[in-house]
C-alpha cells in the first residue's frame, strides 16, 4: 500500500522554507522576522517529519533586533552545505543598528552558529547560495529593478561569492526580471544544476493570493535565462479565494538519496472566510521532470492535503509534549520572545520548576522586548492553558495569556489589580488596530489560576478556573483579529505568556506549567 503524508509538514508560522540534504539527513530553515531566537533549524530523515534542533541566531550578541518593526527583521534565509560546512544566508530588514545581508556558518546544524559576516554590495533581499560542480560559489538576490517597466518589478542578480573571504567578487549579472509582463516581486531565487542546465526557481506575484512558483533555465550560469513556457509551474491563484489553501510559492528543491525530487514551499490555510490566522506554513510536494523542466505536484497541479510520501523510510520523531513544566535549565526551542532583550524578562532559576516573568515596563504594543514568551499557533482548533500565580502590586501590573499577531493586534487574558486595590480582576483586553478595548472583566479569588483559551475555528473561548475546579468562561473573541487580513504583515499568530508592570521590578508572575494541544473536529 502506498504511504501518504499530510500537508502542511510544518504547521503554523514557518514561511520561506529553504532545505538542503547531507547524506540521509535534511535540514530546513524558515523566516522569523522580529522574533528571537531567530531562524529555526529543523531536521528530517524523510522530508515529512521534522524536529527543531535549535536556532541559528540564539545569542543576543550575534545580531541586534532591538526596535525592529513588526514583520521587519529576518527575511527569507537559505541553507546550504559545502565541503563539511553549513552556510545560512539571510537579510536583516530595517535594522535599527545595522541591516543588510549576511552569512552564518556552522559545522553542526544544531549549532553553535557563527556571528554574521555582513556582505558588502548584497543589495535587496532573499539571498541564496549555489555551489557549482567546479567548486565555484555564487550569490543570488532580489532587488527592485534598476529601470522598471512597471511598478513592483524586481530583478534577480548574480555574483561570484568567495566563501573563504566572505565577500562578493567579479562582475554582476542580472538574470531575471519576472516571468509575466506586469508580474510583481520576482523574488526568492534559488539556482540548481540539472542535466547540464542551470535552473532558476523564483517566486512571483507577491506573497499573498497571487503568489506562484516560476522556472527559468540557461546553459550558462550567467545567462541568458529562458522562462518555462508553462509558467507558473505551481500556483493556487486560479482556484479562487474560497480554496482552503492559498498563496502558494517560494519553493526550494531537493533531490533525495534515491533520486526523487521534492519541493518545500509556503502556503496559507484559510478558515472562517478568507483569513489566515496561522500565517504562512511549510508544505511539501513532489517534483517530476518533463522536457527538462520541473513539474510541481504532477497529476494534480495543486497542493493536496494528503499525497503519496517520498520513497524514504518513515522517520517520525517523538511528538512535542503537550505540557511544559519548566523543569529544564532552558526554554524549549518551540518558545520565542520579541526582538533581542535589553534586560531579561524571564527566569527559570528564581523559582525552580516555574517560569518567572518579570513585570517589565515594555508592552506588546511597542517595538520593544516585553516580558513575553510564546509559541506558534499550529492548529485551527486548539487548547492552550497555563497555571499562573500572580499578585498585582500596582495599577499597571498585569500578567497571564497573550494571543499575539502584531503590536497593533493582540488579545490578552490577564490578571490585574481591582480598581479599589483590594483584590484582583481578570480582564479580556483586545487591540485591533486602535486603542486597547476591555471586552470583559470579573473578580477572581486569590491564589494561582488556570487561564485557558479554547479555539474552534475562529471562535476563541477564554476562561479561568481554580486548580482542580471546572472552568468559568469569561468571553468569546473572534480569532480573525489575529489573521493576516486584519493585521497585515508576514508572520502568524502566537499564544504565550506575558507580564507588564511599572518597571520597578516589584511584581512578577510565576507560571507552573503551560499546555498546548491541537484538537480535531
Q: Which residues are catalytic?
A: 16, 187
Grid cell, residue 172, equals 554582476
Handedness of CA 458, 459, 465, 470 (dihedral sign): negative
Distance, in Å, from the CA atom of 409 to the CA atom of 421, rounded to the nearest integer, reads: 29
Check: CB of residue 398 under 8 Å from CB of residue 388: no
Picking from 422, 426, 513, the residue whose alpha carbon sits closest to that of residue 465 is 426
The alpha helices in 119-183, defined as continuous H runs, are none
Distance, in Å, from the CA atom of 368 to the CA atom of 360, rounded to the nearest integer, reads: 11
Q: Name the pairing type of β-strands 449-456 and 355-358.
A: unpaired
Cα angle 51, 54, 55; round to 5: 125
The residues pairing with 203 across neighbouring beta strands, listed in sequence order, are: 187, 213
Distance, in Å, from the CA atom of 367 to the CA atom of 34, rounded to the nearest integer, reads: 9
The residues pairing with 43 across neighbouring beta strands, listed in sequence order, are: 27, 51
Burial letters 464-491, b for 16+ CB under 10 A, else e: bbeeeeebeebbebbbbbbbbebbebbb
Distance, in Å, from the CA atom of 52 to the CA atom of 68, rounded to the nearest integer, reads: 25
Whose grid coordinates read 502568524? 492
Amino acid at each position: 500500500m502506498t504511504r501518504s503524508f499530510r500537508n502542511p509538514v510544518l504547521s503554523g508560522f514557518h514561511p520561506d522554507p529553504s532545505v538542503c540534504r547531507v547524506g540521509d539527513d535534511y535540514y530546513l530553515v524558515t523566516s522569523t522576522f522580529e522574533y528571537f531566537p531567530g531562524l529555526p533549524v529543523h531536521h528530517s530523515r524523510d522530508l515529512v517529519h521534522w524536529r527543531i534542533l535549535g536556532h541559528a541566531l540564539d545569542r543576543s550578541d550575534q545580531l541586534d533586533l532591538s526596535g525592529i518593526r513588526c514583520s521587519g527583521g529576518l527575511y527569507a534565509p537559505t541553507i546550504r552545505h559545502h565541503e563539511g560546512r553549513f552556510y545560512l544566508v539571510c537579510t536583516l530588514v530595517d535594522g535599527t543598528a545595522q541591516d543588510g545581508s549576511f552569512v552564518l556558518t556552522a559545522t553542526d546544524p544544531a549549532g553553535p552558529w557563527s556571528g554574521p559576516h555582513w556582505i558588502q554590495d548584497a543589495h535587496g533581499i532573499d539571498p541564496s547560495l549555489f555551489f557549482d560542480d567546479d567548486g565555484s560559489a555564487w550569490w543570488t538576490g532580489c532587488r527592485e529593478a534598476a529601470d522598471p517597466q512597471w511598478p513592483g518589478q524586481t530583478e534577480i542578480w548574480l555574483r561570484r561569492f568567495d566563501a573563504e573571504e566572505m565577500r562578493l567578487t567579479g562582475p554582476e549579472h542580472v538574470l531575471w526580471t519576472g516571468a509575466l509582463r506586469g508580474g510583481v516581486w520576482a523574488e526568492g531565487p534559488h539556482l540548481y544544476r540539472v542535466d547540464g542546465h542551470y535552473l532558476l526557481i523564483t517566486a512571483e506575484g507577491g506573497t499573498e493570493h497571487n503568489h506562484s512558483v516560476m522556472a527559468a533555465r540557461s546553459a550558462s550560469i550567467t545567462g541568458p535565462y529562458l522562462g518555462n513556457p508553462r509558467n507558473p509551474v505551481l500556483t493556487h491563484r486560479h482556484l479562487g479565494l474560497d480554496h482552503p489553501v492559498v498563496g502558494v510559492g517560494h519553493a526550494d528543491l531537493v533531490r533525495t538519496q534515491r533520486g526523487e525530487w521534492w519541493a518545500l514551499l509556503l502556503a496559507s490555510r484559510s478558515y472562517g472566510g478568507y483569513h489566515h490566522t496561522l500565517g504562512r506554513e511549510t508544505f511539501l510536494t513532489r517534483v517530476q521532470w518533463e522536457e527538462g523542466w520541473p513539474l510541481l505536484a504532477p497529476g494534480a497541479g495543486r497542493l493536496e492535503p494528503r499525497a503519496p510520501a517520498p520513497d524514504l523510510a518513515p522517520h517520525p520523531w517523538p511528538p512535542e509534549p503537550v505540557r511544559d513544566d519548566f523543569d529544564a535549565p532552558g526554554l524549549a526551542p518551540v518558545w520565542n520572545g520579541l526582538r533581542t532583550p535589553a534586560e531579561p524578562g524571564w527566569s527559570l532559576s528564581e523559582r525552580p520548576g516555574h517560569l518567572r516573568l518579570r513585570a517589565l515596563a515594555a508592552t506588546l504594543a511597542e517595538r520593544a522586548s516585553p516580558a513575553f514568551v510564546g509559541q506558534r499557533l499550529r492548529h485551527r482548533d486548539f487548547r492552550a492553558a497555563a497555571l499562573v500565580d500572580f499578585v498585582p502590586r500596582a495599577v499597571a501590573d498585569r500578567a497571564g495569556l497573550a494571543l499575539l499577531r502584531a503590536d497593533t493586534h493582540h488579545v490578552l487574558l490577564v490578571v490585574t489589580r481591582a480598581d479599589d486595590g483590594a483584590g484582583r480582576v481578570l480582564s479580556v483586553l483586545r487591540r485591533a488596530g486602535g486603542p486597547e478595548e476591555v471586552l470583559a472583566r470579573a473578580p477572581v479569588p486569590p491564589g494561582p489560576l488556570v487561564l485557558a483559551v479554547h479555539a474552534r475555528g475562529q471562535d476563541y473561548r477564554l476562561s479561568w478556573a481554580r486548580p482542580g475546579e471546572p472552568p468559568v468562561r469569561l468571553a468569546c473573541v473572534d480569532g480573525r483579529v489575529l489573521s493576516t487580513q486584519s493585521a497585515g504583515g508576514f508572520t502568524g499568530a502566537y499564544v504565550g505568556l506575558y507580564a507588564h508592570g511599572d518597571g520597578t521590578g516589584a511584581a512578577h508572575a510565576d507560571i507552573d506549567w503551560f499546555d498546548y494541544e491541537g484538537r480535531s473536529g
